[in-house]
Amino acid sequence: MHIKTILFLVCSALLASALFIIGGGGNQDDDFLRVNVAYERCINCPHDRFLGRHLCEGCRNLDDAAEFSRYVSAPPHRNTVFFGHPKFEVKTYKDDRCGNIDGVPAAICTDKKISGSVLPKYSCIYKGQQCYAEHSMRNGHLFHNEIFCEDLVEP
């Protein structure tokens, strides 16, 4: 059986059980929202790899983003960090994509080589305060070239 078929069946079963549990009255809009969130998480929106590498929920400034990047970045030692708790949705106009629907601050962090250091030291600059991005639901890859910031900060 194809992996997408299995994923669809598992998600369908989870959604059916969620509908059964919440189907006993109450606010239908809230129920729909809960099911929608469950569905999007079930199909990797947002993807765990994206969350681990690019979303720093506790970051409040560039120093926090630099420290976050220190532990998650891989060669070429450049990382885009999004701050906060954005909401995500499946992007239906493009295959296999998930993106944030709330604009959040974003920073670009690069490795500063320090001799004798086990972990690299990062330096970050803001890309913008209201940024949107999409990533693959298959592997969490961030589409760096398609990041949009309403208030783009030029380096």
For 80, the enclosing helix (H) or strand (E) is strand 78-83
pLDDT tens digit sequence for 71-88: 886 666 789 999 999 999
**Residues 58-75: tens digit of each pLDDT:** 999 999 999 999 888 666
pLDDT of residue 3: 42
* pLDDT tens-place string over residues 129-143: 999 999 999 999 999
What is the span of the domain harbouring residue 114?
45-155
Question: What CATH number is associated with residue 82?
Answer: 3.10.130.10
For the entire predicted model, the pTM comes to 0.70
What is the pLDDT at residue 1? 46
Residue 42: strand, helix, or coil: helix
Same domain membership, residue 128 and residue 85? yes
Residues 37 and 49 in one domain: no
Same domain, residue pair 12 and 85:
no
6 CB-contact burial (10 Å; exposed 0-12 / middle 13-18 / buried 19+): exposed
| 83 and 150 together in one domain | yes
Co-location of 18 and 58 in the same domain: no
